[in-house]
């Protein structure tokens, strides 16, 4: 299967991606992780991307697409993947569909995780992430058992640079302006299902699984 996850920052896409990957045996391809890896290694593409990430803006299509398509050609993604954070524009969606069609790997499902802006801000400004295993926590709704320490791998938790109040608000504005049109784009292709993502993590996961099953019955 080849699945795309849509939704605003803070919708829980990363958490649900891990659940779905475990259930279906799929590779997770997250642009945020790709960017952070490239930036940490100081690559040319990473340095170009950093200028946009630090401002809470989307990285230009050309840079993002080059990174993502290269990742999708790696062995673990050839048999199926979950895309988190890409595509974010219509142009990226068209580039992705064209590339997958050329390889005989059409999209299977697009899940749109929906939350209000108020919930997104609350989640993001209280978010802590593990740099080791990539788990996310929230000081309000999902705190770690031991303050500042990951429950799974015991790494020190950190706040993301793009989770500051002003940056979060800007990220949401950019999302609504640039990414929201993708909902209609994929809906018209019969690939998209909306998921109410304001519920508990386990409930959202069940809704996502039901949506995937529904879409697979139609193909």
- Identify whether the C-beta of residue 109 lies closer than 8 Å to the C-beta of residue 17: no
Report the pLDDT value the prediction gives residue 156, as an integer from 0 to 100: 94
- Identify whether the C-beta of residue 130 lies closer than 8 Å to the C-beta of residue 157: yes
Q: How far is CA 116 from CA 69, 113, 131, 144, 196, in A?
A: 31, 10, 27, 24, 10
- Identify whether the C-beta of residue 115 lies closer than 8 Å to the C-beta of residue 11: yes
pTM given for the model: 0.78
Cα separation, 156 vs 150, in Å, equals 6
Q: Which of 87, 163, 157, 183 is nearest to 120 (CA)?
A: 163
Q: What residue segments make up the domains of the chain, in order of their start?
A: 2-115+175-218
Catalytic site positions: 13, 88, 127, 160, 171
Q: Which of 50, 6, 2, 60 is nearest to 28 (CA)?
A: 2
Cα separation, 80 vs 3, in Å, equals 8
Residue 184 CB-density burial (10 A; 0-12 exposed, 13-18 middle, 19+ buried): exposed
Q: Which of 134, 108, 73, 84 is nearest to 186 (CA)?
A: 108
Report the pLDDT value the prediction gives residue 56, as an integer from 0 to 100: 77
Q: Which of 81, 84, 67, 79 is nearest to 15 (CA)?
A: 84
Phi/psi at 19 (nearest 5 deg)? -65, -45
- Note the Cα 40 to chain centre separation in Å: 19
Q: pLDDT 10s digit of each residue in the chain, 219 long?
A: 999 999 998 899 989 999 999 999 999 998 888 888 888 989 888 899 888 888 878 788 888 888 899 889 889 998 899 999 899 889 899 999 999 999 999 999 999 999 999 898 888 888 889 999 988 888 877 899 999 999 999 999 998 766 666 678 888 888 888 888 899 999 999 999 999 999 999 999 999 999 999 998 865
For residue 125, what are the contacts with CB-CB under 8 A and spacing of at least 6?
Answer: 163, 164, 165, 168
Q: What is the domain class of 2-115+175-218 according to CATH?
A: alpha beta
SS3 (DSSP) at 146: strand
Cα separation, 142 vs 130, in Å, equals 13
Report the pLDDT value the prediction gives residue 87, as an integer from 0 to 100: 93
């Amino acid at each position: 299967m080849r699945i795309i996850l849509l939704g605003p920052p803070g919708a829980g896409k990363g958490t649900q991606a891990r659940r779905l990957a475990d259930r279906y045996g799929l590779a997770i391809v997250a642009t945020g992780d790709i960017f952070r890896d490239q930036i940490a290694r100081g690559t040319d593409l990473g340095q170009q991307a950093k200028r946009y990430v630090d401002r809470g803006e989307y990285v230009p299509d050309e840079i993002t697409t080059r990174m993502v398509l290269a990742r999708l050609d790696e062995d673990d993604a050839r048999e199926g993947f979950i895309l988190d954070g890409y595509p974010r524009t219509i142009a990226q969606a068209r580039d992705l569909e064209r590339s997958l069609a050329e390889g005989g790997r059409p999209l299977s499902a697009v899940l749109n995780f929906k939350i209000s802006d108020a919930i997104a801000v609350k989640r993001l400004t209280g978010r802590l992430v593990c740099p080791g295993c990539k788990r996310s926590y929230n000081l309000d709704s999902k705190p770690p058992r031991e303050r500042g320490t990951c429950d799974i791998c015991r790494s020190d938790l950190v706040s993301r640079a793009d989770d500051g109040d002003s940056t979060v608000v800007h990220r949401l504005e950019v999302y609504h302006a640039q990414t929201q049109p993708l909902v209609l784009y994929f809906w018209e292709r019969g690939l998209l299902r909306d998921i109410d993502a304001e519920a508990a993590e386990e409930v959202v996961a069940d809704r996502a699984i039901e949506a995937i099953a529904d879409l697979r019955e139609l193909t």
